[in-house]
Amino acid sequence: MRGRMVVLGFETRMDIVIKEWDPPHSFALSMVVRPFRPGVARYALETVGDGTKLTRSSEVALRGPLNVVWPVFRPLLKRGMRNASRNLKRFIEAKPRSV
């Protein structure tokens, strides 16, 4: 899958490949996104009561000299992932719109 995202105000392209697929329990993606080194994102789905718990973990690192800004960039990345999770939850739980 190929896409685009904004990193620190700059648009960048990303390539994502599904590496593991174990429905309905888990899946993993490999990602190539500049300015990061190639990374992996893992997702686990667990039934909890009447719902589903999604657990996400990522292995990412910046390239070369950009590692200097990692202590500043990491919290921003974590906040962005939390926001993305909230948006995904809101989208999944939204009532369908009438056409």
Q: What is residue 55's predicted lDDT score, i.e. its pLDDT?
A: 92
pLDDT in tens, 11-68: 888 899 999 999 989 999 998 887 788 889 999 999 999 888 989 998 888 788 878 8
pTM: 0.72
Q: What is residue 99's predicted lDDT score, i.e. its pLDDT?
A: 66
State the Cα–Cα distance between residues 62 and 36, nearest whole angstrom: 4
pLDDT in tens, 59-78: 888 788 878 888 887 888 88
pLDDT at 89 over 90: no
Q: Residue 29 burial by CB count (10 A; 0-12/13-18/19+): exposed, middle or buried?
A: middle
Find tokens 């993606």 and name the residue: 29
CA 37-43-48 angle, 5° bins: 155
